[in-house]
Amino acid sequence: MARRGAMLPDLELEALRKTTDVADIADRIDRRLTRFMSAYGVLMLRLALGTVFVWFGALKVVNRSPVSNLISNTVYWLPAKVFVPFLGLWEIAVGLGLLLGVALRLTLFLFWVQMAGTFLVLARKPAVAFQSGNPLLLTQTGEFVIKNLVLVTAGIVIGGSIRRRRPTL
């Protein structure tokens, strides 16, 4: 019985080899990239989330946050001059916990409490979050709040990795 390749004309056989070589190279690159993402993805996610929390928290502490009015109007029963900087310090603590990878269970608890608070806007100030009261039509503020679903999910991924810690800085 003739070999399969022997039945193909030389040009077709060479094209098949090149296709296989390209596929093998692509597969090796894909394997390396996915190994890198698997090894460092959670660490990078933790560092990115930590950076955002420190940054946004610092803006609140120095009274330069663009969401200070939104916060004070949503949590109107607390004095804004006290609550907004307090929230900023809370966010900085969460951010530092994420950046340093210390006390992650406590850090994530504080993170989820803060995240839950961000959704108060949807319940307490729906006119600010939804166009004409329609929950499918978000305002700019509504989009700002809803994107926190991605941050919550990032926290879940980080929390799910606590028992199988990856490389840390």
Place of tokens 């597969």: 27
Beta-carbon contacts of 61 under 8 Å, excluding residues fewer than 6 positions away, are 85, 88, 89, 92
Query: In residues, how long is the chain?
Result: 169
Q: Which amino acid is at 150?
A: V
* Residue 168, pLDDT score: 55
- 127 token code pair: 């006119």
Residue segments in the chain with a per-residue pLDDT below the cut of 70: 1-8, 13, 15-16, 165-169
Q: What DSSP state is assigned to residue 75?
A: S
* Residue 165, pLDDT score: 61
* Residue 72, pLDDT score: 94
Look up the pTM and report it: 0.82
